[in-house]
Structure 1
Amino acid sequence: MNFLFAWRYFKAKKSTNAINVIAWISMVAIMCITFAFIVVLSVFNGFEGLVKSLYSSFYPHVLISPKAGNKTILVSPEQLKQLSAVKDVVHYTRIIEEKTLLLNGDIQVPVELKGVDENYTKVTGVAQNIVRGQYATGTADRPVIVLGNGVEGALDLESDKNMFPLVAYVFKGGASVNVTDLYQSVAADNVTTGGTFLIQADIDNKYAITNIDFMRRMMGLKENEYSHLEIALTDERKGDAVVKNLRQLFGGNYVVETRYEQNKSLYGVMTLEKWAIYAILTLMLIVSAFTMIGGLTMLVLEKQKDIQVLKAMGANNRLIQKIFLSEGLLLAGIGAITGIVLAVLFCWAQVQFHLISLEGGTFLIDYYPVKLVAGDFLLVVATVSLVALIASWFPSRKAALQPIELKS
């Protein structure tokens, strides 16, 4: 019954036109903010999904690395067999990684050079992100290097057209740095460029990939000595269970991390940014709710006689309060539903026709990505409903406390 009264009050002509104007203003404000809620969160979801997919091309599901203070881990053939037998482990790859100085003539570029084995392409997606040349790492004696796009630019070359080899200076494993003669601490050799990968700027500007046996020879490491192991799973969602098993298998001398733990700061910043956006839009919604409070208060003043008649007919304070609470929820509901429909249409058009483009041309895509998530809709509807309920409470309480005075 309370919604029936609220609907009649919403449609009925008011004695003061300002009440209608304020009601429509409050609905339009809620519609615009709801639209902004859905669109902004969807754009954020699009960027978040894109960044995560790019990072997933380089970072493995699970990483086994040495504890702080150690540069390498010792992994026996028996441990590797046990690793292969762990449930949900599909592939693993052995990595030897070290800071390296690459020289192209007079140009010097420091990089993180990863020596990888033949299983590397089964664990990561680097081979699927080659933009020039081809993915090839060569052999221990004839190494080939795959450069990140940023590293290639810093070296001022094109990997598939470069005719002269680069010189790689690699620190020897366990060697102390002699500042008076650095050549005693490093090994140098020529490497041929094979290709270039393009994933994400933080990765492309930092990494290059070559053969694991070449890195072992340069650093003088043992046969079963590695920088870390990278592991691919049947399902990333099972990562926590696999990590628990691997920690029991390898013991406390190793650090075992999921992809989330490897990039905890990145995921943490993304989550913080999303909640910051939500907080800002919620604050805008709260400000717009004052318009609703003003409109409902004026409506209560206009309907004083109606309230007194209803009370005289037996309506209690709770029913009167419900009527005006329903009026506020009705205004908010119409605005929110309209905003959601417009937001969904806009997001669909953005995906189909790329209405708003990204400036600069430095990203992998040239338009703002959007991704609609059901949880965002529930969050927005719950937030709008809560704010509308709180905003309607004050005028509805005032209406409920009106005394019965049928004669003036």
Structure 2
Amino acid sequence: MNVSLLIARRYFLSKKKRNIISIISNISMVGVAIGTMALIIVLSVFNGLEEVARSLYGKSDPDLMITAVQGKSFEVNPAFIKQIKGLPGVALVTEVIEDNALLQYRDRQMVVKMKGVSDNYYRQSNIDSAIVEGSSQLHRDGMDYALLGAGVQHELSIALDNRFSPMRLLYPRNTGRKTLSMNPETAFNEQNILAGGVFLIEQHVDDSYIFVPLEFARTLLHYENRRTALEVKVQEDQEIGQVKEALKQQLGAGFKVLDSDEQHLSLLKAIKVEKMFVFITFAFILLIASINIFFSLSMLVIDKHKDIAVLMAMGASSRTIRNIFLLEGAIVAQVGAFTGLVLGVGICWAQQTFHLVGMGMATSVVDSYPVKMQFSDIALTGVAIIFITIVVSIRPALNAASLDLRENL
């Protein structure tokens, strides 16, 4: 067995250690355990929030979205759509026109995100599973209907299928002038449509989006053959990444092909940045908690100076002495870290299984705090603890290795 490790274990398990050294060492282990536990839990919560965001947007997001690099729209034609459909792995292509419009209902109005979709939209989107009132159909009995976000309906107090008071959508008319006409009759295109259903996906979407038939949006916006996006459904047996690369090569540099994460890059990046700063913050807390290891090792070096001198007299090298105290600090830190890891994983498992801690908000889309454990978080926490242990242990270990043999025998 390694001599340094053997002596370090004996020092750690020794009941003859000075009481104050033992107390400080135990405080160090408790601090590291609590810090490790908290770090595992908080990182798992951020992972859970990221998964919730993906699942919420997945109800309305396509596998891949094609948009223009420059401008907000691009020309399409049957040959162009057929070209995309002909690529291996492409199951469905939905045409989309999306833009801001003014929604009026009775004496109320608000600016909404109007999304016009072609008839095959429901074959690739799960938005029909998010309908909480009314019907998901955009065409019924020869009439056009709109799907409203729950927040839009609440803001304007819109009644569904109200043929006596339909909704009115207005969009600025393109007259070629730099200024907008002050006459509403000439300044805006306008069309009426009935509210057919209400969806509940995520607050940002619910408070701003309405879905309408593609032809309705094309007429209102005068888009003709232009589209703001094409949404692509990938066949179930195909890799999304491979189809994405094939589309990029086929379409060229004038188009962007975005997967689900890239469609909400700012949100997911914000979660990851917050997670990174939380990790850094808790790593500093772990460092502060581990400072007690520095004090306990420093006092242990003073207490064991005669033992160190005897070991040197028996031929122990400075490296061996240094390693004894480095390993002593590592044992203290790793015992605390392992305890914290077990507690953190146990608490996360209990939250996942029994949903112990609720969100405490009636409007929340999930009842309890979401958690998702990842091995990468555990590994990163372990690396941080190893680094911190070396930082706080190196000075006492060097002091032990530099003791003068003649003065301490």
Shorter-chain TM range is over 0.9
Counterpart Cα distance in 2 of 1:372 and 1:27: 23
Q: Residues 158 and 195 of structure 2 are in contact (CA less than 8 Å); yes or no, is this contact kept in structure 1?
A: no
Residue 31 of structure 2 is matched in structure 1 by 29
Residue 80 of structure 1 is matched in structure 2 by 81
Counterpart Cα distance in 1 of 2:324 and 2:44: 35
**Cα–Cα, structure 1 residues 228 and 173, in superposed 2: closer, same or farther, change >3 Å?**
farther
- SS in structure 1 opposite 2:196? strand
* Structure 2 unaligned blocks of 5 or more: none
Counterpart Cα distance in 1 of 2:287 and 2:408: 39
Counterpart Cα distance in 2 of 1:139 and 1:97: 22
Per the TM alignment, residue 15 of structure 1 is displaced from its structure 2 partner at its CA by: 4.8
**Cα–Cα, structure 1 residues 230 and 171, in superposed 2: closer, same or farther, change >3 Å?**
farther
Q: Which amino acid aligns with 1:183?
A: E
Per the TM alignment, residue 189 of structure 1 is displaced from its structure 2 partner at its CA by: 2.6
Per the TM alignment, residue 255 of structure 1 is displaced from its structure 2 partner at its CA by: 3.6
Q: Pick which of 394-403 and 172-181 moved more.
A: 172-181
Counterpart Cα distance in 2 of 1:129 and 1:16: 65
Q: Which amino acid aligns with 1:30?
A: V
**Cα–Cα, structure 1 residues 16 and 72, in superposed 2: closer, same or farther, change >3 Å?**
closer
Residue 263 of structure 2 is matched in structure 1 by 262
Q: Deviations over 1:130-182 (max 9, x none)?
A: 11122111179621000011111111135478974222223456765632223
1:179 maps onto 2:181 in alignment: yes
**Cα–Cα, structure 1 residues 216 and 252, in superposed 2: closer, same or farther, change >3 Å?**
same
Residue 42 of structure 1 is matched in structure 2 by 44
Residue 368 of structure 2 is matched in structure 1 by 367
- SS in structure 2 opposite 1:405? helix
Counterpart Cα distance in 2 of 1:407 and 1:106: 92
Q: TM-score, normalised by structure 2?
A: 0.92
Q: Which amino acid aligns with 1:102?
A: L
Residue 120 of structure 1 is matched in structure 2 by 121
* Structure 1 unaligned blocks of 5 or more: none
Residue 356 of structure 1 is matched in structure 2 by 357
Give me the CA root mean square deviation: 2.4
Q: Residues 175 and 185 of structure 1 are in contact (CA less than 8 Å); yes or no, is this contact kept in structure 2?
A: no
Q: Residues 173 and 221 of structure 1 are in contact (CA less than 8 Å); yes or no, is this contact kept in structure 2?
A: no
Residue 193 of structure 1 is matched in structure 2 by 195
- SS in structure 2 opposite 1:337? helix
- Equivalent positions of 1:2-401 (< 5 A) are 2-69=4-71, 71-138=72-139, 142-159=143-160, 164-172=165-173, 178-222=180-224, 224-234=225-235, 238-239=239-240, 241-401=242-402
Q: Residues 141 and 214 of structure 1 are in contact (CA less than 8 Å); yes or no, is this contact kept in structure 2?
A: no
Counterpart Cα distance in 1 of 2:357 and 2:132: 26
Per the TM alignment, residue 46 of structure 1 is displaced from its structure 2 partner at its CA by: 0.7
Per the TM alignment, residue 204 of structure 1 is displaced from its structure 2 partner at its CA by: 1.1
Q: Residues 181 and 187 of structure 2 are in contact (CA less than 8 Å); yes or no, is this contact kept in structure 1?
A: no
Q: Deviations over 1:33-67 (max 9, x none)?
A: 00011001011111111112212323323222234
Q: Residues 305 and 408 of structure 2 are in contact (CA less than 8 Å); yes or no, is this contact kept in structure 1?
A: no
Q: Which amino acid aligns with 2:41?
A: V
Q: Which amino acid aligns with 2:45?
A: V
- SS in structure 2 opposite 1:97? strand
Per the TM alignment, residue 241 of structure 1 is displaced from its structure 2 partner at its CA by: 4.4
Q: Residues 57 and 199 of structure 1 are in contact (CA less than 8 Å); yes or no, is this contact kept in structure 2?
A: yes
Per the TM alignment, residue 94 of structure 1 is displaced from its structure 2 partner at its CA by: 0.3
Q: Deviations over 1:368-392 (max 9, x none)?
A: 1111111101011111111112211
Q: Residues 64 and 257 of structure 2 are in contact (CA less than 8 Å); yes or no, is this contact kept in structure 1?
A: yes
Q: Which amino acid aligns with 1:395?
A: P
Per the TM alignment, residue 122 of structure 1 is displaced from its structure 2 partner at its CA by: 2.8
Per the TM alignment, residue 349 of structure 1 is displaced from its structure 2 partner at its CA by: 1.6
- SS in structure 1 opposite 2:139? coil
